[in-house]
Amino acid sequence: MSTKVALIIGGPALVTYRGQTFYSQGDITLDPSIETFPIMVDRYQQVDERVKNQPIKLSFTPAGEWEALNVLFPYASTVLGDLITPVRTFGTVVPATNLITITGHGLTSGDAIRCSSTTTLPAPLSPATLYYAKAVDPNTISLHPTYGDAIAGTNIIDITDVGTGTHKLVVNNPLVIQTFAGQQYTFPNAAVVSMPPITVSAVQTLLGQVTFECFLAEGANWSDANPFYTLAAVAAPNDTSFNPTNVLTQPATMGWGVTPPWSSFSTKSGVRVEFPLQLEAVETDMDGVLTRRLSGITVTARAVPMGLSESDIMTKLLLQGAGAARGRSLSGANLEISATGFWVRLYGAALRGGPQLFGTKSDRIGELTWVATRTFATGVPNPLFFVGTANPG
């Protein structure tokens, strides 16, 4: 049997999520896997293998454009214990203005949502319809039929009554993979489960690998027609959004406090910032993993500083002398990492160590590691980090 080249498929694709289109540096990897559990009998050992969960993950390294930061880094201000596909309870529904109050909703304009009620949703809202929220203010939203309408504030859904019972919304942001060969995957409910590391250097692009997980659509069952994904033939994308000038490669300036030399210093080979997440599965016996709960986040920055002496390092570590004590707090000044059109901040940065190297081939000061520390303002937790294009003030 001969091999037909026409049957070999391949080629690149674009990823679209929360209104943003992403080009990748290399392969976009879609990994649908099956988790199983064995059926064991002592006489025969394993007699069957059955499905426990079927996680679908998608990973890629963005081309490096410094944009869509609220999409790639969504958990700067997320309250620990919140779901990564958030659920919010309606407060007041005002038909006269078509506005819904949800105190501290934490939504971003363009978030896709589905609604449900213990009794009857406000008319004409339907649990079968995907809506898009506009964050009017931190405590108020309006609903719209498309992402573009939510961003522009147009075509607001005309709410005619307040309904009855308790109403809730669930964020279900779709993720789309569109190939240049004319195929399109649509996953109705996806969320970031690994934020990309950042490398600030003159010879490297900024962004590392980001990973999404695709969950069951809200209210769907495994046996429904398309609860996890759809695959359809579509026209090849005609996207013109990519702009190489937005791919930043430049050295960083770091600052930690106001006292020289820490207030401004350069690095030997750039800075790497990482954002490991701790996520807990939220599952039921019928449907398995429905989403994940954010239980922790750590933010670290690593760099080899230039222009610092042995004394600078040892003094900052405060191993002895006035103020040195077992049990003291390591929380320090904010760590600022900046370049043209680029700013990253680690709040309350703590220096975890200061290695020094003695040898014929080594610089004296080794790689330092800072870890962001949770700070509070009148009892309210501040973000652990900021990513943006300019000093947040």
CB atoms within 10 A of CB 301: 25
- Kindly report the CATH number that applies to the domain delimited by 247-318+329-388: 2.30.110
3-state helix, strand, coil in the chain (%, to 5): 5, 40, 50
**Structure confidence at residue 381 (pLDDT):** 87
**Structure confidence at residue 1 (pLDDT):** 66
Identify whether 55 is preceded by a cis peptide bond (ω within 30 of 0). no
CB atoms within 10 A of CB 80: 13
How many helical (H) and strand (E) elements, i.e. helices and strands, does the chain have? 3, 31
CB atoms within 10 A of CB 146: 16
Contact criterion met (CB below 8 Å) for 337 and 261: no
pTM: 0.94
Give residue 182's region: left, alpha or beta (phi > 0; psi -120 to 50): left
Residue type, 95: P
Q: Looking at the chain, which residues constitute the CATH 2.30.110 domain(s)?
A: 247-318+329-388
Contact criterion met (CB below 8 Å) for 121 and 100: no
Mean pLDDT of residues grouped by 10 in the chain (393 residues)?
Answer: 84 96 97 97 97 97 95 94 97 96 95 96 96 96 97 97 96 97 97 98 97 96 95 93 93 96 97 98 96 97 96 95 94 96 97 94 96 89 94 93
Of 89, 165, 155, 86, which Cα lies nearest the Cα of 121?
165
The token pair at 193 is 């489960």
**Structure confidence at residue 8 (pLDDT):** 87
Of 288, 304, 273, 290, which Cα lies nearest the Cα of 196?
273
